[in-house]
Each structure stands twice: as C-alpha cells, then as structure tokens.
Amino acid sequence: MHEAALVIARPQGARQLVLLFHGVGSSAANLAPVGRAIADARPQAMVVSIDAPHPSTLGSGREWFSVVGITEQDRPQRIAQAMPLFLDAVSHWQRTSGIGPDATTLVGFSQGAILSLEATQVDAPVIPAARVIALAGRFAQPVRRAPAGLRLHLIHGQQDAVVPVAASVAAARELQALDGQVTLDLIPGLGHGIDARALALAIAYLD
C-alpha cells in the first residue's frame, strides 16, 4: 500500500505533512491535482496522496471498506475494521518524513474524509494529526470526543446527493457542544465533488 502512494512534493526541510485520502472507487492519482495545488501554495509541506488498500467492490479503483449493502448500523464496524491500516498509513508517512502528528494534516474526500474524521475518535494517547480537512465527509456515528489541539474543517457541497450535507451540519454542532475547534463551510451549487471554491478553502485552512 505504501509503495502505491504518490509523493507529490517532498521539499528539503519540510515542516508540514499533508496526507490526501481519496474516495471509494477512486485512487491516489485522482487527488494528485489537489495535491499539486496544495504543494504550490505551501512549498514547505510534504504532500502525499495515499492509495486505499483494497480493490473497490464497485468494480474500479480502490477502497478502505466496501459500501456494497452498507447500512447506518454496520458502517461503524466496517470503519473500525479499516482503521488499523489507515492509521498505519498515517504513521508510516510520519516516520518517513520525520514530521509528527502536531504538524500533520489529513485531507480526505468522501470515504477518505470519513476515515480521517473517525481517526480522531480512536481512543489513543496521541491523536494521529492536529488537523483534518474533510471534503464531502461524515462521521460514522455521533461525535464522541473533541481532543484538545485538534482542528477540524468540514467542507461540503449543498447539493451533495451521496453524503448528505446534514451530516456535516450535525457534526459541527456536536463538536461545538464538546468545545471542539471546528469550521463548517457549505458550498452552494456543489454536489459530491471538489471545485475551485472547496480547494481554496482547504488550502487556506493549512495555515
């Protein structure tokens, strides 16, 4: 899995690690344009697009977990099964770069955003990253914790017909109730995707 990742930028003396996680049925290459835009805007960041470990059960691309026949009831279990490999990917690139969680940002789209968000809910002494930028994502279940120092940025198209925008609205409300650091941007006219407005917001949150 690590070999299939795309290292988009690896500047000498990088001070920030940005890991990109694609959606189901996609691949690391699909987020390469996003990664290049981030690298151009943040030249001191190491940027890596991660390939999910399994062939997609949808017929093309890759996935962290199957969405075939998925329900609200079994989604948490599927994510829990995928989480060890996800966290291993994060820690691998932290070791490779020499950059720790405090300077790591996870940028996920759709299923990649779901895994990135749920990684912050794992009961562990150290959270895997200090910042998560979730594009068209959701938590698998109501937010359970808002670790100190964690910044969460939820970006969602208002016309998303795949992952309901209400999921991001609810997550922001739940995080605020837990005194979490969260922003919520709802983009008019955007469906299940990333457009120039969403990308500009994501880059801005890397500061």
Per-residue pLDDT of the chain (207 residues; tens, 9 = 90+): 577 899 999 999 999 999 999 999 999 999 999 999 999 999 999 999 999 999 998 878 999 998 888 888 999 999 999 999 999 999 999 999 999 999 999 999 999 999 999 999 998 888 999 999 999 999 999 999 999 999 999 999 999 999 999 999 999 999 999 999 999 999 999 999 999 999 999 999 998
Residue 74 a catalytic site member: no
- Given the residues 110, 116, 168, 185, the one annotated as active site: 110
Distance CA 23, CA 86 (A): 13
Q: Is the Cα torsion angle 15, 21, 65, 142 positive or negative in sign?
A: positive
Residue 2 a catalytic site member: no
Domain segments of the chain as ranges:
2-204
Instruction: Point out which residues pair with 107 in neighbouring strands.
Output: 20, 133
Question: What pLDDT score was predicted for residue 59?
Answer: 79
Beta-carbon contacts of 36 under 8 Å, excluding residues fewer than 6 positions away, are 8, 9, 47
Question: What pLDDT score was predicted for residue 4?
Answer: 80
Pairing of strands 6-9, 45-50: antiparallel
Greatest distance between any 2 Cα atoms in the chain: 46
Q: Is the Cα torsion angle 43, 128, 146, 75 positive or negative in sign?
A: positive
Q: How many CB atoms lie within 10 A of CB 186?
A: 15
3-state SS, residue 12: coil
- Given the residues 54, 66, 92, 192, the one annotated as active site: 192
Question: What pLDDT score was predicted for residue 124?
Answer: 83
| Residue entry with tokens 């016309």 | 159
Considering the domain delimited by 2-204, tell me its CATH architecture: 3-Layer(aba) Sandwich (3.40)
Residue 192 a catalytic site member: yes
Question: What pLDDT score was predicted for residue 126?
Answer: 87
Record the tokens describing residue 87, joined without a space: 């966290």
3-state SS, residue 176: helix
Beta-carbon contacts of 43 under 8 Å, excluding residues fewer than 6 positions away, are 9, 11
Question: What pLDDT score was predicted for residue 1?
Answer: 59
Pairing of strands 131-135, 104-109: parallel
The DSSP letter of residue 50 is: E
Q: Are 17 and 105 in contact (CB under 8 A)?
A: yes
Question: What pLDDT score was predicted for residue 143?
Answer: 97
- Given the residues 116, 160, 168, 185, the one annotated as active site: 160
pLDDT tens column, 144-166: 999 999 999 999 999 999 999 99
Distance CA 141, CA 166 (A): 13
Beta-carbon contacts of 145 under 8 Å, excluding residues fewer than 6 positions away, are 120, 121, 178
Q: Are 22 and 60 in contact (CB under 8 A)?
A: no
